[in-house]
Structure formats: C-alpha cells, structure tokens
Amino acid sequence: RVVMGTKVDQNHVNWVTAYNMLTGIRFVVSRTNAKMDRELTDADFEAKHKFSFDITGNELTPSAKYDFKFKDYAPWVFRHLRTIFGLDPADYLVSLTSKYILSELGSPGKSGSFFYFSRDYKYIIKTIHHAEHKFLRKILKEYYNHVRENPNTLLSQFYGLHRVKMPFGRKIHFVVMNNLFPPHRDVHQTYDLKGSTIGRDYKEEELENNPRATRKDLNWLRRNMHLEFGPTKKKDFIEQMQKDVKLLQKLKIMDYSLLIGIHDLERGNDENLRDKTLKVFQPGGEDADEPAPNMLMRTPSKLESARKAKELRHMIKTQKPVPMEQSSSKMPDELPDHKDSYFYSDDGGFRATHEDDAPGEEIYYLGIIDCLTHYSFIKRMEHFLKGLTNQESQISAIPPERYGDRFVKFISGNTKTREAAEREKAEEAEA
C-alpha cells in the first residue's frame, strides 16, 4: 500500500459511505461529549444505540444529505479512552468533520478492509469484518483496563466503534484509530513485522519503483536493520511491548504486527515529493477554495484552535438531543494541550538513541496494529483454505502463545544500537 491515498470526493465510489460515516461520528460523539462526564458502569461496555438519518431530520437526529442508519457502540467507554489517550475532544470532531474529509488508502488488502485518513491525517477509519467487530466488543473491557493501566501502550488506540448501513446496502462496521505516521514528516521506510519469515517478503524489484511500500520481515533482515534504541529506551520499549503482547496472548489474538515508519533526520523531508503530493491532493474545480489536506497540514495555531473550539461549541449546541442544561461547561479549548504518550513524544514518534542514550539519527513511528484477529478465526480460514486446495496450508498458523513469544523474541532481538550491531558484525566476521 502507498501511504498517500486518493482523495474521497463527490466522484469517488465510496463518497456516500464515507460521508455517512463522518456524519454519524459527528452526531454521536458530540451527543456523548455534550453530557457531563461520569464514571463508567458495566452496562457502558455493552451499550449500543441506533439512529436513523434522513433528509428531513426528526426530533432525534438532524437532517442529513442521505438516508442511512448508524449504530454507535459503547460511546462512554470510547469517550473515556479518548481522554486517556490525550485527545482534545474539539480536535477529534473537527478532524473528522470537514467537507471532504478523507483520503482512501490504496486498494483493500487480503482482509478486504478499507482505510480512510482524516484530512489532517491524524486518524484512520478502518472498516472491519463482522467477526472483528464482535470480538472487539467482547474484549472491550479488558482492552480498556489494559489501557488504563498502560496509558503508553503500543497497541492500536481505538477511539470509536460504529456501524453504518445504507438503504439496501450491507452493514459496514468500522473503528476509528490513531494514524501512527505523522502528517509533517516524510516516512522514508515502512516495515510491517510479525517475527515470521514465511511469505514475509516484499518483492525487492518492486521496491525500486515503490520505495515507500510496506516492507516485511525478510526485507528487514536482508538490510540488517535494527530498532536503534540505547539502554533506557530499549528497556522501556521492550517492557511495554511485553505487557501488550501478554494481553494479546491472553485474549488469544494473532496475526498482529509491529508497524514501523522510519524518518531519517539527515535526509529530512523531500520538498519535491511534497510538492508532488500537494498536486495530487490539490483540490480542483468547486473545491478550489479548500486548503490542501493531510500530508501538508500544519499544526493549527492557537488562534485556529480557539476558532475550532468555538465552532465545536456551536455544533454541540445545535445538536437537538442535548438539552442545554446538560451541556458541559468545561469546553474543549480549556483543556490542557494534547499530551502525547511516551512512545509518541519525539515529534510524534520515538527517536533513536545511542549507547549513551544520546539522540540518534532516526525517528521511529511505531505501534502494534491489526490486533483484532482471534485464533479461532484464523483456524477457520485455514480450514477453509485446506478444503480448497486439499493441502497442508502454507500459512500454518501457530497458537497465540507461540505467536506472541516469537513476536517478542524477534522484535527484542532486533532492538539494539547501531554501535552494538556493528560490534556484533565485526565479531562475527572475526569468528
């Protein structure tokens, strides 16, 4: 997949779906945010609310451009999760609610999921399989507890779980989560690592034409790559990864990976490439007055943030279902600035360090992604494939315990400073 994606505008096949997703999110999030905060109850984890949108509107929902149904899951849990992850409620809504809003990432992969970036590139909407949806609901409480105990978790940060259905259409489940990659820094190399080597190779010939494609374990090993962390960061990173993987093992999750984006500070941003990107995204025709989306977005100034917050306050006030007296008086622009978690605190990522913990030459943007696949689901798929080919399957899934151990071993073994890696190489050559 290429990271930039295609703009989803009125002419895009998925325009209506994307539009409805965002309309729904805006409605349900402002509806929940407008209420006074409260402690979670057990029922919050099971909660689901259904809304019908149509062009005329009714007492519950405002009028929308299209007819569709929208379902919101565990809104209070996700509100709390967003707070733990340090999101500014105003930012969240504004990011997900501009006019044409999203870009779609490449073509759907094996799993058939679609990915959409918010226009400021901070958030990703991923459509998920019904089984993944059911599974996330099932594990939500354990995920929530884990995040509370580990606010610096490397696991995907889930901000919302929703479902959209168009008349005569099928039900589309989706999550909103963090985009690991920064809007303002070129990611020079991307790796998706699982700790397995079977089929984990992106064709080197194709990398020549497409150097920013997502590479895999074998490409990593071939280049003798490492996560270059000195003693302090190495310890912190591995400890957190171990805790996260422990949860995944307990929940019998498999097939996740460590996604790594590498920004080489010496190389910096390639302004030529960014110009090209600008052209790709440059809105033409009736959209010409819109600012260029995502990759090129600056961080909004204080003034802009204040204006956004004001817009948001207005938005919340005009949502029908929220009685005025329930509106929280603590408005988003009074909250402290967005507090990034530890692994995302060096310009949105985690900077390499040397043996003496002095800053290194790369910034890593990393996290554990695709963590909603339950073992039984893999097994079913394997069984299905075996039935088709009448052969032992090539993917040969290993149980979640072993998957996690192998993952941790691979990533830990590949975390070392440049100095250490060079020393080892020299020793090897000597021996």
Min CB(81)–ligand ATP separation in Å:
15
CB of 175 to ligand ATP, least distance (A): 10
Tokens of 348: 């949105």
Is residue 94 within the footprint of ligand ATP (CB under 6 A)?
Answer: no
| Contact status: 110 vs ligand ATP (CB under 6 A) | yes
29 vs 258, beta carbon nearer ligand ATP: 258
Nearest residue to the partner Ca ion, using Cβ: 370
| In the complex, least distance from residue 335 CB atom to ligand ATP, rounded to whole angstroms | 24
Phi, psi of 245 (to 5 degrees): -65, -35
Contact pattern for ligand ATP over residues 259 through 278, marking x by CB under 6 A: x-------------------
Q: Does 87 bind ligand ATP (CB under 6 A)?
A: no
Letters for 174-193 (x = contact with ligand ATP by CB under 6 A, - = none) are: ---xxxxx--------x-x-
Contact segment (CB under 6 A) with ligand ATP among 110-118, 285-293, 374-382, 395-403 equals: 110-118
CB of 200 to Ca ion, least distance (A): 11
Residue 107: CB atoms within 10 A of its CB come to 9
Nearer Cβ to Ca ion, position 244 or 370?
Answer: 370
Scanning 28-36, 111-119, 314-322, 358-366 for contacts with Ca ion by CB under 5 A, the matching segment is: 111-119
Judged by CB under 5 A, the residue of 101, 144, 370, 415 near Ca ion is 370
Q: How many CA atoms lie within 13 A of 137 on its CB side?
A: 20
> In whole angstroms, what is the distance from residue 144 CA to residue 37 CA?
17
Interface with Ca ion by CB under 5 A: which range of 68-76, 333-341, 365-373, 379-387?
365-373
Counting contacts by CB under 6 A, is residue 199 touching ligand ATP?
A: no
CB within 8 Å of 68: residues ≥ 6 apart: 20, 24, 53, 164, 165, 166, 167
Amino acid letter, 215: R
Q: Note whether 124 binds ligand ATP by CB under 6 A.
A: yes
Distances in Å between the Cα of 260 and the Cα atoms of 35, 187, 345, 369, 389 are: 38, 9, 15, 10, 34
* Dihedral pair phi/psi, residue 176, rounded to 5°: -110, 130
- Window contacting ligand ATP (CB under 6 A); options: 55-63, 109-117, 220-228, 293-301: 109-117
Q: If binding is defined by CB under 6 A, does position 295 make contact with ligand ATP?
A: no
Question: Among residue numbers 323 through 342, which ones bind ligand ATP (CB under 6 A)?
Answer: none
- The entry of ligand ATP, Ca ion, none that residue 150 binds, CB within 5 to 8 Å by partner kind: none
Nearer to Ca ion, 346 or 370 (CB): 370
- What part of residues 355-414 is at the interface with ligand ATP (CB under 6 A)? 369-370
Residue 111 or 150 with smaller CB distance to Ca ion? 111
Q: Which amino acid is at 358?
A: A
Residue 32 interacts with ligand ATP (CB under 6 A): yes or no: no
Q: Which of residues 214-243 bind ligand ATP (CB under 6 A)?
A: 214
b/e string for 141-160 if b means 16 or more Cβ within 10 A?
bebbebbeebebbbbbbbbb
Q: How far is the CB of 113 from Ca ion (least distance, A)?
A: 7
Binding interface with Ca ion (CB under 5 A): 111, 370
Binding interface with ligand ATP (CB under 6 A): 1, 109-111, 113, 115, 124, 156, 177-181, 190, 192, 214, 259, 369-370
